[in-house]
Amino acid sequence: MAGLALLIAASITIGFHIIFPAAFGCYIAWLLFQQYERGREILQFAQRMEFSYLGGSLPPTFPLHLTSSSRAHSIDNTVIGNRGKKVLVLFDCRMGHGKTSYWRGVLAVRGQHQGFGVAQYGPDLSTEQVDDWTVVYGSKRLLSLGEIEELVAEM
């Protein structure tokens, strides 16, 4: 009987040492795939709108240090473009550290003094004025492509 209990305990331990790393590896692969898909989606949007995809850098004219996203420690999927006399900057940024960190989607327009109309009033979208920029961002989340397209249509 003791031998059977030892065999079961060994099987459980071996199973845990195989299943847990495999599940963790699958989770990491899923996160990387999501990040890849987001980048591809934003790149296709930029090409469709004839905007420029900058990747992980912001244009020097954008005053990130004056926005509520000033503590971002990672920038990704940056897009810049012009519509008439207005300049658009779109980017994803990582806020916070460790378990409390999250990705935030930010869309900023220079010269959009009247705001974004109805599109800015999503359930958790926030808007702020910084110098001559109007900045819209999701609360602890990325902006969906549909939201981005709606906001750009309001320009």
Q: Which residues pair with 75 in a beta bridge?
A: 93
Map out the domains of the chain as residue ranges: 38-153
Whole-angstrom distance, CA of residue 92 vs CA of residue 103? 7
Mean pLDDT per segment of 10 residues, for the chain of length 155 residues?
56 63 62 71 91 91 92 92 90 90 92 66 80 88 88 81
Q: 79-82 contacts: CB < 8 A, separation 24 or more?
A: 79/42, 79/45, 79/46, 79/51, 79/52, 79/53, 79/54, 80/51, 80/52, 80/54, 81/46, 81/49, 81/50, 81/51, 81/52
Q: What integer pLDDT is reported at residue 77 of this predicted model?
A: 93
Q: What integer pLDDT is reported at residue 106 of this predicted model?
A: 94
